[in-house]
């Protein structure tokens, strides 16, 4: 059951299938939707590498399947319905036009394709192609007037060891604690 955030509970976490959970969220009630859906089939291998225990790299199967076009369309409709302002979707770069198309079909406006440069990106252990050191973020907005908290300036955000370094323009740095959260 969805209930609106309050001053005593400003953040709420709902565990479950996102498509089912979103059905209980009122229209236009989420200020910023941040989503990291499963990747497409060509990028979604049936395993992932993880470090367990004493830092030993192991391979384990994924517990979810790649996204389908039907799931993408359903998710886009629900996300657009609950969004009050921003929608940020982490996706592989090849999927940007796919997500942009379904979002525009349901009324969201394209603002920008962003890159998150990962300081600790995984190497490609197979050695048959380059490793991925970034992730794409598709920034969409509802039809309301958009305003980004960065004031429109260029920002580089580096996240490393639970500390966030923000570089505004090219010379001034601010160190602020971070919990690996992209906020807007």
Supply angle C-alpha 55, 59, 65, rounded to 5: 130
> What is the CATH T-level fold of the domain 25-144, as seen in this structure?
Rossmann fold (3.40.50)
**Per-residue confidence (pLDDT) for residue 47, from 0 to 100:** 63
3-state secondary structure of 36: coil
Find where tokens 């807007």 sit: 184
User: Which H helix or E strand runs over 100?
Assistant: helix 96-105
Spatial CA neighbour of 80 closest among 14, 16, 144: 144
Write out the chain's pLDDT in tens, 184 residues. Answer: 566 667 787 777 777 888 888 888 899 988 889 998 988 877 766 566 677 777 777 777 777 788 999 999 999 999 999 999 999 999 989 999 999 999 999 999 999 999 888 777 767 666 666 777 888 999 999 998 887 776 666 555 444 444 344 444 444 434 433 332 333 3
Instruction: Name every residue whose Cβ is closer than 8 Å to that of residue 34 and which is 6 or more positions away in sequence.
Output: 88, 90, 182
For the chain, give every domain's residue range.
25-144, 155-184
**Per-residue confidence (pLDDT) for residue 8, from 0 to 100:** 81
């Amino acid at each position: 059951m969805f209930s609106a955030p309050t001053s005593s509970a400003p953040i709420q976490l709902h565990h479950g299938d996102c498509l089912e959970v979103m059905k209980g969220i009122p229209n236009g009630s989420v200020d910023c939707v941040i989503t990291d859906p499963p990747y497409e089939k060509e990028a979604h291998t049936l395993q992932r590498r993880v470090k367990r225990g004493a830092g030993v790299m192991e391979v384990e199967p994924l517990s979810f399947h790649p996204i389908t076009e039907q799931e993408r369309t359903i998710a886009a409709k629900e996300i657009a319905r609950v969004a009050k302002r921003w929608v940020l979707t982490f996706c592989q770069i090849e999927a940007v036009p796919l997500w942009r198309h379904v979002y525009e079909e349901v009324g969201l406006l394209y603002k920008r394709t962003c890159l998150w440069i990962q300081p600790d990106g995984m190497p490609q252990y197979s050695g048959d192609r380059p490793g991925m050191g970034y992730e794409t973020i598709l920034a969409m907005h509802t039809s309301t007037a958009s305003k980004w908290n960065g004031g429109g300036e260029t920002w580089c955000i580096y996240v490393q060891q639970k500390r966030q370094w923000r570089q505004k323009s090219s010379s001034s740095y601010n160190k602020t604690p971070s919990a690996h959260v992209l906020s807007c």
